[in-house]
Structure formats: structure tokens, C-alpha cells
Structure 1
Amino acid sequence: MVSTGSTDATPSSTDVPLVRVRGLGRDFAVRVRTGRFHRRTEVVSAVRDLSFDIARGEMVGYIGPNGAGKSTTIKMLTGILVPTRGLVRVAGLEPSRHRRVLARRVGVVFGQRTSLWWDLPLRDSFDLLRRMYEIPAARFAGNLAEYVELLDLGDLLDTPVRQLSLGQRMRGDIAAALLHDPEVLYLDEPTIGLDVISKGRLREFLRALNAERGTTLLLTTHDLQDIEALCDRVIVIDHGTSVFDGGLDRLRGIGGAHRTLVVDLVDELPGGRRIELPWESAGLAGAEVTRVEGPRQWIAFPAGASAAPIVAAVAAAYDVADLSIAEPEIEEVIKELYSR
């Protein structure tokens, strides 16, 4: 394991994670009413004992219920908040100590806030950011042209930000966060309030950004379709600490999650009978028919089990017209995880 000792030098090795968090915690003092005229101060841990690494080029979903500590984590990763304890390094830098330097290497989009100037045309906001980040003119022009095209902003450049719709402003915010070529992009609820079409375009853009530029993405969202569309890895946080860190397939396999084999028989079984198989045998344990509609039957089985033995057994015993497998809904998996 790489040492978690303090360092301010930027590592040169690509093996070193772009983001490293170890034992991170952040406390807040909260005044609590104890009587009509009395209050006392309590310490609330928004983040506690949080540890994870993010490699360059990863797309990671960072999810949890309201108040779990997601936004607090993002603010510590950007240097807006100073950790109460623990270690955090982004591109080898301690965010709270090197905030101005790190600002040139990261991009941030908060879905419910904007980094654009409310009364200025979108074009002027971009130009102000060019001056703030001291982006070379040629690089700025190239990036702006690319993002204006990909995010369909061409007709909006001369429109004041306050006149943009939420979806248009969000696209402008994402372009603004990328003009200086950040190594990592933090997205905090980027699709909140967007319609289906706007969400689809935004997801397509982010996939292309990661594939073509290798930009690392950390995405917090309550829309789990964003996670399924973009992320291969998920960190689930609850009460300020990580309760799961792994791939979507492993996430679906936890707890009581089930996959479903949907079987279309050639003919409906007499009397609406269910498919009957030796469910206690090896490879079929835990499977059961949960629903019947005419010739279609649904067989649920543990998410971590293989469907092959069930498919083989059904095909050997019945005349099958079609088969398909439905993965467990990620919303149900997350609910199961929280309930545990």
C-alpha cells in the first residue's frame, strides 16, 4: 500500500491514484434548542472515516441519501472545506492548502448553483473564465469551439444566463468547467430538473469526454439512471462513510437482489400452471416462478447465480419460444443496502 504520509509534490507515476482519501472526516458544530431560552452546541459528523482511491480516467458514481455527506466530500476534494481529520490528495496536492493551484486542474459543476454570471451573455462568462484561469488564447478557442458544438450552445452564446432554461444553463456550466482542461470533473447532481432528452444528451457528452480526453469523473446524483449509463464503479455512502465500493454487477449481487429469467413458452400451460423443475437441485437452488401471464413466465433467481442451468433445464422440459434476462433494478438494490 502506498504510504498515506503528507506530501505536497505532484507524483509523476501514473500508478498513483488521481484522488486519494484516507480516514477522512468533517465535523460541524450545531446549536440545538434545549428549552425556550436555552441552546447547547452539538458536534455532528457529516463525513467520518471515509477512504477510497480514484484512478485516472475512471468514471465513478458517488451516491447516498440526502444528508449522507456527498456534497461535503466534494467540497473537501475541491478545498472549499478543510477536513477535521484524515488525508485527502487530488493530483498529489492537499486541496485546502493548494486550492488556487488545484483549481487549474479540476472542474466542478453543482447542479443547483451556477458558476456563470447571471446578467452576462454566455459568451462573456466564458471569456471571464478564460482570463481567470489564464487559458492560452489558442487552447481556449479550440476548447470553446468543441464544447459549443458538442453541447449545442451555438445559438445561446449571446443570451444572458438568466434567460437560459435549466437544461441550457447546465450545458453552459459544464462547458465552463471544462474550458481549462481539468484532469478531474466533479459533478454534483448535474441532471437535476432536466428533461429526458436533455439528460440523454448530457450523458452522451460525458461518455465521449471520458473516452476521448480521459477526463476522470466523480458523479453524485439521485438519478440512478445516470449511474447505470455512465459509471462502471459505484461508491455508496451512508451516514458519512462508505458502505459499498465496487462495480455495478457486484452491487446488484448484494443482499436479496434477484435477476429474472423471462420465459415465453410456445403454448400456455394447462390451467395457467407454473413451470415445474427440481428447484432444489444444484444450479437451480433459490430460483422460483414469481409470475405467470399466459405463455409468459417469470423465474427469479439470486443475482450472483448463473442463469445457464435454469435456461438449460427450462429448454429441456418445455417448448420455448423466447428467453430474456432482466437485471435487478438498481433502485431496489440500493434500498436493500440501506435497510441493512
Structure 2
Amino acid sequence: MGQIRAVKLSKHYRVALKAPGFLGTLRHFFHRQYRQIEAVREISFQIEPGEIVGFLGPNGAGKTTTLKLLSGLIYPSSGQLEVAGHQPFRREYAFLRKITLVMGNKQQLIWDLPAADSFRVNAAVYEIPEAEFRRRVGELSEMLGLEGRLHQPVRKLSLGERMKAELLAALLHRPQILFLDEPTLGLDLNAQAAVRTFLLEYNRRYRATILLTSHYMADITALCERVLMIHQGQLVYDGPLRGLLERFAPYREAYLKLAQPLDLAWLASYGEVRSLEGREVRLLLRREELVEAVGRMLNELPVEDLEVREPAVEEVIGKFFTSSKNP
């Protein structure tokens, strides 16, 4: 049995409808109407101990709702859910010691106090002995590169340092399962890379299970071999990251360097022109037409160099979501 197991998990919300204006307010007061929002619809998956799994989807797809279900913050409308042998919504103390939820747009550290003071509060909540508390803070601060920064007020830390301190606070009780919702949100490239390196090391050292959402595909490609993809509350993909290309990208990219510039309309007869800069061209070619198209280009165009690549994962996902909105 997996560390995390969801079977036909659903979450519905009942939302009141109100027309604008005074009359709308009166009608809403005496005769309310409602509609039901299906935030998550019968999703099923299983995650094994020690896995790092990416959780992808556009805004409003149901990612954060799912993380709240898994961490026990909200009660499921239907389905079965088990995390580390517990039913999350019961919020048992033994369960809470095994998990953590980090949201990039929320903070638990007290703004005007040093991060070390907030760590002591967490240590008291989780009944961590003083000697063990000092050892864990020292170990995690070294892994995160925060030595010498923990006794400054949180407001004086950089955004990257604050996020690292938030991670330290969330991991002080050494959870087995990490639910991370946009942990690198707003960070610069160096800070993002530092957080990714830390998560890989934490996973390796403690065999922690990590479920990660991020709009930065660099986070997903660096950390996750497997991804879940949710769209309009439904799970549309569960498998290897590279498998996304096979399922959602019916095309390849061809990069050409020509001996002389050519007209855009002429090049469009070979495939979809994505970019044209002087003598350098980027085309999208359908997989089933790839061999024929490449043969034609080599025979008919003044090609100096040609390379065929898989499309970038983020472009594949973006194209899928765009086409789903505009069928």
C-alpha cells in the first residue's frame, strides 16, 4: 500500500448566487439560489514512500484543493483517502507529526521577530527536546545555507532567505510527507536552484515523500520523474514526466539554419513556423509527417544545418491547456 492513496476523491462546494444591486440583495436575502462547484472530481492515484511527484495544472484546476484534502484542512465530499495510514480529515496528532504543508504565498514566521523565535514555538508544539531542537536547526540551516541569518528579524531577510526559513520551520519536526504548493514562488533563479537542491538532499537523507506543485517547470524537471496533471478538477495524466510528450505532443520541433533567408509563406508549406530570425527557422512538424517533411526540406531548401528535437515540456503542457479551453 502506498504512502498516499486516493480513490475517486472528490470535493464539491455549494456557492450562493447573488445578482448585483439592491433588488439582487433583496432576492438573495429572501430566496437564495446556489450552484455547485466541483473543485476535484473522482481523482485516483497512489504515491509510494520516498517518491517526489510533480502536481501540474492551470490556475483553478484543483491542485491546492487536493493538497488541502491530503493534509486534512478540508473534508472530502466523497471517495477514499489515506495518508501515512491515517484519514487526514481526522487531524490526529500522530498524523500531523508525519506531514507538513508549505504554501509559497503564505507564511508562518512572525514578521518582526527572528526566525529562531518562531522555530522555538514549533519545537514546543511538536515536543522536540532542546538538544534535538538545536541539532535539527543546525543541520537544516547548514543544508539551506542560512547560518548566521536566523537571529535577524524576518522582515530583514531577502525573499529567498525567508522561503528557506519557512522550509526550515515546516521541516523542524522531520515530517515523512511534504506537501509543497509553489515553494519557489517569486524567487530569483539562484534562490529557486538552492531550494531545489535542498529538497533533493532532504529526500535523499530522510527518504521523504514529496508532492510538489509549481508554475516553474524547472522545479518539476529537476525534481520529479513522475507527474500528476489535473485539469478542471479531473486527473488527466499520471505517469513519467517524459511520457507527457508522447501523450500530449503529437509533433516534433525542427531547427534549421539556411544558406539564405526565405519567405515565411514558403517555409509554412513544410510545417508550422514558430520563429523566423534571419536564416534560422523553428518549425513544428507532426510526428506522422516528420520523415517526409525532413526529406522534402533537405531536398528543396538550402539547408546548412538541421536538428530535430522533442518540444519543451512547459510548451506541451501550455498547448494542452490552451486547446482544452478552446476546443
The TM-score bracket by the shorter chain reads: 0.7 to 0.9
Task: State the match for 1:29 in structure 2.
Answer: 14
C-alpha offsets along residues 10-63 of structure 1, whole Å, 9 cap, x if unaligned? xxxxxx210001111112221111434223222222112111111111111112
Identical pairs, percent? 38
After TM superposition, the structure 1 = structure 2 runs for residues 179-328 of structure 1, keeping only pairs within 5 Å, are: 179-262=172-255, 268=259, 290=273, 298=282, 300-302=284-286, 324-328=307-311
Shift of 1:71: 1.2
- Report which stretch shifted further, 293-302 or 213-222: 293-302
Q: What SS does the aligned partner of 1:52 have?
A: strand
Q: Which whole-Å CA distance do the structure 2 matches of 1:323 and 1:94 have between them?
A: 55
Task: State the match for 1:141 in structure 2.
Answer: 134
Q: Which whole-Å CA distance do the structure 2 matches of 1:149 and 1:91 have between them?
A: 28
List runs of 5+ in structure 1 lacking aligned partners: 1-15, 275-286
List runs of 5+ in structure 2 lacking aligned partners: 265-269
Change (3 A) 1:294 1:241: closer
Match of 2:27 among 23, 26, 38: 38
Q: What SS does the aligned partner of 1:25 have?
A: strand
Q: What SS does the aligned partner of 2:80 have?
A: strand
Shift of 1:74: 0.9
Contact 2:252 2:309 in 1 (8 A): yes
Shift of 1:325: 4.8
Q: What SS does the aligned partner of 2:227 have?
A: strand
Task: State the match for 2:103 in structure 1.
Answer: 110
After TM superposition, the structure 1 = structure 2 runs for residues 13-162 of structure 1, keeping only pairs within 5 Å, are: 16-34=1-19, 35-39=24-28, 40-162=33-155
Aligned length: 311
Q: What SS does the aligned partner of 1:38 have?
A: helix
2:151 corresponds to 1:168: no
TM-score for both structures, normalised by structure 2: 0.82
Change (3 A) 1:294 1:80: closer
Contact 1:257 1:333 in 2 (8 A): no
TM-score for both structures, normalised by structure 1: 0.79
Shift of 1:289: 8.8
Q: What SS does the aligned partner of 2:43 have?
A: strand
Shift of 1:288: 5.4
Root-mean-square deviation (Å): 3.2
Change (3 A) 1:159 1:333: same
Q: Which whole-Å CA distance do the structure 2 matches of 1:292 and 1:240 have between them?
A: 38
Q: What SS does the aligned partner of 1:81 have?
A: coil
C-alpha offsets along residues 262-300 of structure 1, whole Å, 9 cap, x if unaligned? 4568xx37x8699xxxxxxxxxxxx85957777766564
Shift of 1:167: 1.8
C-alpha offsets along residues 192-215 of structure 1, whole Å, 9 cap, x if unaligned? 111121111111211222223221
Task: State the match for 1:332 in structure 2.
Answer: 315
- Report which stretch shifted further, 69-78 or 224-233: 224-233
Q: What SS does the aligned partner of 1:20 have?
A: strand
Change (3 A) 1:141 1:295: same
Q: Which whole-Å CA distance do the structure 1 matches of 2:254 and 2:220 have between them?
A: 24
Q: Which whole-Å CA distance do the structure 2 matches of 1:126 and 1:246 have between them?
A: 37
Contact 2:248 2:317 in 1 (8 A): no
Task: Return the structure number with greater helix share.
Answer: 2
Q: What SS does the aligned partner of 1:211 have?
A: helix
> Partner letter of residue 57 of structure 2?
G
Q: Which whole-Å CA distance do the structure 1 matches of 2:66 and 2:239 have between them?
A: 18
Q: Which whole-Å CA distance do the structure 2 matches of 1:239 and 1:204 have between them?
A: 32
Shift of 1:318: 11
